[in-house]
Amino acid sequence: MGGVLRALLADAPVLTDGAWGTQMQARGLEPGTCPDAWNLSHPERVEEVAQAYVEAGSRVIITNTFGGTRFALNRYGLADRAGEINRLGAEISRRAAGARAKVFGSIGPAGVMLMMGDVPPETLREGFAEQARALADGGADALVIETMSDTAEARLAVEAAKQTGLEVVACMVFDSGRERDRTMMGTTPEEAARVLVEAGADCIGSNCGQGIEGFVSICRRLCAAAARPIWIKANAGLPEIIDGRTVYRQTPEGFASQVPDLVAAGASFIGGCCGTSPEFIRAVGKKLSP
């Protein structure tokens, strides 16, 4: 384990940040448009989101680059600006973090299907490598590969990210199966842990897919399967569509009530995913404070 993770884990568990998409929508991002493009057009609003999490106590914040591969950006005609978008995303979060938080560059799924032959593995790996290099150039302290359902894609992303020399967190989504303990591809936490560690991940975990209650057993299983720090970012419950809007019913207090169980299960990094906000992070922070 390198210096960034070791320094953070000297005072663990580490409070990370919450959702970005809904926070940007609250600042005017239209649903269906490209969030990553705001690094070009509205950097000040992106920085407001990052700053809000720093003010809430986050010791790690991510970057507005979840859809930052050339493949995902191609849907918006922005593939040729992937490097710029990712570099700016890291620079924006870096400004907001200052000396108060570390910046982990966000790398999400590419939006192409390996198993369907949409792109060759080497092409996908190079796309992830392009994104990772730009995040490193922008000042990211580490990289976090998020919301992966396919371990083959996650492996390529980890291998590409490791080429930067930065430490890499790798997270899967477990939201399928009778117990909601498998990825969409049917992978168990134990199988995912093995693949991610073999690929070189310095920290493994899970984000998105379900509410925080379901993460306790997933966290325990990941912790038992691998000698790595565990990163957990749960949703604020499952979404409901009300009058055309996506609504999450979970409250900050209800979310935070599960934090002691997550800590007992071995979580090293705890934050929130879809539907969470700075208020959720403050509530989690209170549970983590001695």
Enclosing H/E stretch for 245 = strand 245-247
**pLDDT score at 245:** 77
Kindly report the backbone phi and psi dihedral angles of residue 104, in degrees, each rounded to the nearest multiple of 5, phi listed first.
-110, 115
Global pTM value: 0.97
pLDDT 10s digits, 246-269 = 788 899 999 999 999 999 999 999
CA distances from 278 to 32, 103, 251, 260, 289 (A): 23, 17, 12, 19, 16
pLDDT 10s digits, 181-204 = 999 999 999 999 999 999 999 999
**pLDDT score at 246:** 79
- CATH code for the domain in which residue 226 is found: 3.20.20.330
Task: Decide if pLDDT at 290 tops 70.
Answer: no
Task: Decide if pLDDT at 114 tops 80.
Answer: no
Residue range 101-105: mean pLDDT, rounded: 99
Confidence of residue 243 (pLDDT cuts 50, 70, 90): confident
Task: Decide if pLDDT at 1 tops 70.
Answer: no
**47/89 Cα distance (integer angstroms):** 9
Q: Which residue pairs, CB below 8 angstroms and at least 24 apart, start in 6-14?
A: 8/59, 8/60, 8/102, 8/269, 9/229, 9/268, 12/229, 12/268, 12/269, 13/262, 13/263, 13/267, 13/268, 13/269, 13/270, 13/288, 14/59, 14/60, 14/268, 14/269, 14/270
Residue range 10-28: mean pLDDT, rounded: 96
Tokens of 34: 């490209």
246 lies in which domain range? Answer: 3-288
pLDDT 10s digits, 37-61 = 999 999 999 999 999 999 999 999 9
Number of domain units in the chain: 1
Which stretch of 142-156, 157-171, 218-232, 235-249 has the lowest confidence by average pLDDT?
235-249
